[in-house]
Chain A
Amino acid sequence: MHSLHSRLLLAASLVLAGFLGATGLALDKAFRVSAEAAVQDRLQSHIYALLAAADEDENGRMLPPQELPEPRFSKPDSGLYAVISEDDKQSLWRSSSLAERDIETTTQQLPGERNFSRFALADRQLYALAFGVAWGDDTGTEALYTFTVAEDTAVFQAEIDSFRSTLWRWLGGMAVVLLLAQGFILRWGLRPLRTVTTDLQQIEKGHSDHLEGHYPKELAGLTSSLNSLIEHSKVVQSRYRNSLDDLAHSLKTPLAILQSGCTDKDADADANNMLVSEQVDRMDEIINHQLQRAAVSGRYTLARPVPVGKVVERLLRSLDKVYRDKQVKVELALDTSATFTGDEADLTEILGNLLENAYKYCKHTVQVQVSTEQRTGDIEISIADDGPGIAADQVEAVLQRGTRMDESIPGQGIGLSMANEIITVYGGQLAIAASPLGGTLLRISFHD
């Protein structure tokens, strides 16, 4: 059951079947009750008709009816029967439709009372109504009679059957119509999902490079996230490609120098060693720079916010260990709520490079401050040291290091320009100023 469509269809069909079945049963029951009431009414009116047809003798006593109101009473086995009985005695009168049979007269009814029952007569089912009547004669004495009229249930059953067949035919028809409607609604309702799937296949086949078109708002979050993931992976891929291109290109120069050094017969061993060592350092720097540039993942939609404070504290613990001899005094002002939207490795790389510079070049003290702008969620991290600082006219050159390899500024590692590049990828800023402590003040800001 891995398809939404079949899940919904199955569930809805089960509900529909249950609902229509219950409706059918309820209607069937209601019809049966009202049909029985109708039978009772009909039997009652037959009794009234028989009463009306009854005659009187000269003393005012009742005589059984001579002219019957309903011909079926006279026709044998017609399915409609009547019996009149007096007190507890044998039946006074029996309709000719009964022929040789007899109805077991039910118990005598008091005047005005009635009893509706169902019983069997020679393998046929009958409904019977017994009705008590008091007949006063001229002398004033009252005789009690019970009129019993019975009708074959076949008529009733026929009515029920015809109702049932009509009922179930209609319900069945409705079920088919509803199922079709439901299938159509599902197809229509789930169409955006199928559209997304086909659009994704288009991307996989390379016919398209992002999800186009308008999707319903329930899917908009998903599709826009997918789009930005696709966008992000494209950016990362092109960064990799560019880095590899740059790497290959920039390695050519030191390699060329080494090659010409090898073939230079006049060069002495010391000069060659020097040359190799220089070019190896240069190549190492190029490789580090380009690899780290390629490894930056950049901001992406589904990134988990990284607590800046935790990263800073981990790095400080590590640096304290490495620079144990120096006994650097760190003044820390952390806003623990500050978070960075992006990759933890990238933030670690930025702060690791900058903090290590601070540890390396400070005299005694490093100040680290992390703050958040409450309203916008922007974060600012500042790192100050009491070292020699960077001259204002060298700031640009320091940040360019790594891209222009021939420049070499003693006392500043490649770390600063590396950090600056990652910060730029995240759309942040790195500002270099003079620190109140006398050294460098680095201010990094990220906009949320």
Chain B
Amino acid sequence: MHILVVEDEAQLREQLRERLRAAGYVVDVAADGEEGLYFGKEYPLDLAIIDIGLPKLSGIELIRRLRAHDKHFPILILTARGNWQDKVDGLETGADDYLVKPFHFEELEARLNALLRRASGWSKPVLDCGPISLDTGKQSITVTGNPVELTAFEYRVLEYLMLHAGEVISKTELTDNLYEQDYDRDSNVLEVFIGRLRRKLDPDNSLSPIETLRGRGYRFRLDASNG
């Protein structure tokens, strides 16, 4: 998942970058509205976190321009002044949710998950595909009711595949959504992660939830039972 953070406060920006990375997201950061607009227009993004009070180009104006450029990824606004006039202005311009500073990182993550899930067409926070159930709120996995422990990275891989259940996801697409731009694409780290996921989700090889389509990529094979 590729996330853009547009925040002028350097310390908060770096904190967000580190924590979002640790949570398994690919993160780009911009320090002002113009830079944010450049990233928004040039990079394939899944979500943007935009501070309302930005230098050069205000957050509201940035959102307006992104929407005018037919960018439809979800946008979460951060506001220091929690007044409703600002929130309504932001939401009417095209933002999808807001968060008032200061916030707990867990709260931010929950909002991000909900927005990403909705953008993929899932209206409920729990993705159910056959016996595998992924709770985007708690970030937990169960297989036929039994919890499965995943690392943050494995979780992101599975979440991405399940959000796009039934679709073929190329290795490049998956890599782009899991790593920064400069990642060495020839490495077989992804295969290693998929292998680990298969072992954790399906130790006895009865479900085979993740298919490998030679030369094309991966597909989450089980159909969504809600959405």
Contact = CB atoms under 8 A, between A and B. Distances in A.
Contacts of B92: 314, 317-318
A318 B118 contact: no
Contact of B123 (A277, A317, A325, A344): A325
Contacts of B97: 321-322
A295 B85 CA distance: 12
B118 A322 contact: no
B93 to A, nearest CB: 11
Contact of A325 (B87, B100, B124): B124
A163 B49 CA distance: 95
Interface stretch (A36-44, A189-197, A346-354): A346-354
A325 B125 contact: yes
B183 interface: no
A295 B102 contact: no
A284 interface: yes
A409 interface: no
B191 interface: no
B114 interface: yes
A249 interface: no
Contact of A352 (B81, B87, B102, B123): B87
Given A280-B102, A284-B102, A321 B84 contact: no
A315 interface: yes
A326 B8 CA distance: 33
B23 interface: no
A330 to B, nearest CB: 16
A318 B93 CA distance: 10
A288 B97 CA distance: 19
Contacts of A284: 102
Interface string B118-144: 100001110000000000000000000
A348 B85 contact: yes
A324 B118 CA distance: 9
Contacts of B102: 280, 284
Interface residues of B, number: 20
A293 to B, nearest CB: 12
A292 interface: yes
Contacts of A318: 87-88, 91-92
A292 B125 CA distance: 33
A297 B225 CA distance: 52
B83 interface: yes
Contacts of B96: 321-322
Interface in B73-126: 81-85, 87-88, 91-92, 96-98, 100, 102, 104, 114, 118, 123-125
Considering residues B83, B84, B88, B91, which has the most beta carbons from chain A within 10 angstroms of its beta carbon? B84
Contacts of A349: 83-85
A344 B83 CA distance: 12
A44 to B, nearest CB: 97
A405 B100 CA distance: 20
Interface in A374-408: none
A325 B85 contact: no
A315 B118 contact: no
A249 B124 CA distance: 45
A345 interface: yes
B64 to A, nearest CB: 16
Considering residues A277, A280, A317, A325, which has the most beta carbons from chain B within 10 angstroms of its beta carbon? A325
A321 B81 CA distance: 20
A287 to B, nearest CB: 9
A352 B83 CA distance: 9
Interface in A304-335: 314-315, 317-318, 321-322, 324-325
A290 B118 CA distance: 36
Interface string A346-366: 001101110000000000000
B85 A345 contact: yes
Contacts of A325: 114, 118, 123-125
Contacts of A351: 84
A348 B91 contact: no
A315 B84 contact: yes
B172 to A, nearest CB: 31
Nearest to A284: B102
A270 B51 CA distance: 31
Contacts of B118: 324-325
B143 to A, nearest CB: 24
Considering residues A280, A322, A353, which has the most beta carbons from chain B within 10 angstroms of its beta carbon? A322
Interface in B148-178: none
A223 to B, nearest CB: 32
A89 to B, nearest CB: 112
A146 to B, nearest CB: 105
Nearest to A353: B84
A292 B87 CA distance: 14
Contacts of A353: 84
12 contacts: A280-B102, A295-B83, A322-B97, A324-B118, A325-B123, A345-B85, A348-B84, A348-B85, A349-B83, A349-B84, A352-B87, A353-B84
Interface of B: 81-85, 87-88, 91-92, 96-98, 100, 102, 104, 114, 118, 123-125
Given A288-B82, A288-B100, A325-B118, 9 more contacts: A277-B104, A284-B102, A314-B88, A314-B92, A315-B88, A324-B123, A325-B123, A344-B85, A348-B88
